[in-house]
Amino acid sequence: EVVATSERYAVRRLPFSRLGDGDVAFFERVLPGRVVSGEDEVKPFNVDWLKSMRGCSQLVLKPQTTAEVSQVLRYCHERNLAVTPQGGNTGLVGGSVPVFDEIILSTALMNQIISFDKVSGILVCQAGCVLERLNEYLEEQGFIMPLDLGAKGSCHIGGNVATNAGGLRLLRYGSLRGTVLGLEVVLADGSALDCLASLRKDNTGYDLKQLFIGSEGTLGVITAVSILCPQKPKAVNVAFLGCQSFAKVLETFTTCRAMLGEILSAYEFMDEKCMELVERHLKLSSPVTGSPFYVLIETSGSNSTHDEEKLNNFLEQATASGLVTDGTVATDDKKIKASQHFLFHKSLRPGFTLWSLRERITEALTHEGYVYKYDISLPVEKLYDLVTDMRARLGQSAKNVVGYGHLGDGNLHLNITAESYSHSLLDAIEPFVYEWTARCSGSISAEHGLGFKKKQFIQYSKPGEAVALMQRFKAMLDPKGILNPYKTLPSAP
């Protein structure tokens, strides 16, 4: 059997066992009332968020405990049944849906908070907790999650960790590789690895959790997470600014970082085409218009007077030096007094409207037809050159070529839209986009992972020796290859 799941890359089904009636009966005994097998009921789990990949799994399992996950995987290992772990299924590279008939192991019911220490700020929870729910729980305690994503209302913390999700707060709080203190993981053979430490410092042996952070469910199934959470900032301000060139976006960032220092929590950029699509498809009106580029800056700190003074000084400097031509500010306290060039906007929920302009770009793009999505890390000074070069290369064959992303950490989201999928357009994009990125010593995946769609391009970012070592880890931890097959790594030679 051969399938071209991403409409381009054909893969052959590996010799895993077929699901039988006896298998279903076993799972129903282990997970009473939590086995989904009807065709219509299983269908949503088989399709990714972009609707660009579709598997044909016949079974979704919904365990509630680590012990149940262990039972399931032990059985699947013995029976040689392939498994696709699935969290909120918000991934963009086809990593969380089956390619063929793999059993879907959903963490949707593993949504319990195990503990929270208000002194240390350490949260321990099951992998299926939705990111936004965790943040709401923590806010009541005076804390927040160290990551924030546009998909926060659906994505699971386990999936976030499995893909090493970056998101909107990385500039301030760092990556999950730094904030995750411990993990509980079930390996392919069903054995549970309890490394659920709640210590900031632990220098005993190899840091095993790092193997599973970013492994996309190919080495083990994350069942619980211990994560360090920062205190909720008492003062949050959001500024949305217009810049006349990308050079000015970069210069504004340099000035911003120097003047705002420790209170700078996000620096996002988007081009005018992104704003046009958000306004057209989602009816969100931007209070700042007429600029080729836009910047969203968030500050968060403990002293509103101090923060506002710093932000005011920065805005005055940015407008006086011509870096910024227009802007608006939202605050949770009162309107910020700044340069008269600014049109002020006060939102009921601090920064809500302004953040929506950035967070919902992905949603707006889906209204444009077929979307080719690329998540790239580059040196910041070259970040937008890729968009410009791609626009020139594709010309009229693409409907839109847009760029936006986390400029503070060098992460570009390049999106190309067309009325429908086209082989010839994809051939014009790939591997050009990866070759361009490799020439700049960038990464072909900044935060979405490799999944199914990018696994065959890993050599553009990692040397052959590194890929071979990854394949050896995979073979050691999952000798039968049952965990999320066809994903992340190219097939072993």
What CA–CA distance (Å, rounded) separates 52 from 54? 7
- Please, are residues 487 and 450 in contact by the beta-carbon 8 Å criterion? yes
* Preceding amide of 350 cis, omega within 30: no
Residues 226, 183 contacting (CB under 8 angstroms):
yes
**At which residue do the structure tokens 């051939």 appear?**
427
Report yes or no: 202 and 164 within 8 Å, Cβ to Cβ. no
Three-class DSSP category at 117? strand
Residue-level pLDDT at 181: 97
For 227, the token pair is 């994560």
3 state DSSP class of 75: helix
Can you tell me the distance from the alpha carbon of 316 to that of 312, in angstroms, rounded to the nearest whole number?
Answer: 6
Rounded CA-CA distance 238/186 in Å is: 41
The C-alpha angle 357, 214, 16, rounded to 5 degrees, equals 115
Residues 6+ positions from 87 with CB-CB distance below 8 Å: 96, 106, 107, 108, 127, 128, 155, 156, 158, 159, 160, 162
Q: Which of 488, 487, 492, 490 is nearest to 99 (CA)?
A: 487
Helices 432-439 and 385-394, packing angle to 10 deg:
150
Complete DSSP assignment for 6-22: TSS-EEEPPSPPPP-HH
Dist CA 362 CA 356 (whole Å): 11
Tell how far CA 478 is from the center of its chain: 25
Contact 287, 241 (CB under 8 A): no
The model's pTM: 0.91
Domains of the chain in start order, with CATH, are: 5-109 (3.30.43.10), 113-228 (3.30.465.10), 235-355 (3.30.70.2190)
Each residue's pLDDT tens digit in the chain (493 positions)?
Answer: 555 444 566 789 999 999 999 999 999 999 999 999 988 999 999 999 888 889 999 999 999 999 999 999 999 999 999 999 999 999 989 999 999 999 999 999 999 999 999 999 999 999 999 999 999 999 999 999 999 988 899 999 999 999 999 888 888 999 999 999 999 999 999 999 999 988 888 899 999 999 999 999 999 999 999 999 999 999 999 999 999 999 999 999 999 999 999 999 999 999 999 999 999 999 888 889 999 999 999 999 999 999 999 999 999 999 999 999 999 888 754 333 233 333 333 333 344 478 889 989 989 999 999 999 999 999 999 999 999 999 999 999 999 999 999 998 999 999 999 999 999 999 999 999 999 999 999 999 999 999 999 999 999 999 999 999 999 999 999 999 999 999 999 976 5
**Tokens matching residue 413:** 């989201």
* Cβ atoms 282, 353 nearer than 8 A: no
Half-sphere exposure of 84 (CA within 13 A, CB side): 32
Taking alpha carbons only, the member of 168, 483, 198 closest to residue 160 is: 168
**Per-residue exposure over 34-45, b if at least 16 CB sit within 10 Å of its own CB, e if not:** bbbeeeeebeeb
Q: Could you tell me where the DSSP H helices lie in 95-245?
A: 131-140, 157-162, 170-173, 176-179, 209-212
Q: Which two tokens stand for residue 109?
A: 């019911």
Long-range contacts at 247-251 (CB < 8 A, ≥ 24 apart): 248/293, 248/322, 248/323, 248/324, 249/293, 249/295, 249/384, 249/407, 250/380, 250/381, 250/407, 251/323
Give the three-class secondary structure for 402.
strand
Query: Coil, helix or strand for 414?
Result: strand
Using an 8 Å Cβ cutoff, are 293 and 241 in contact? no
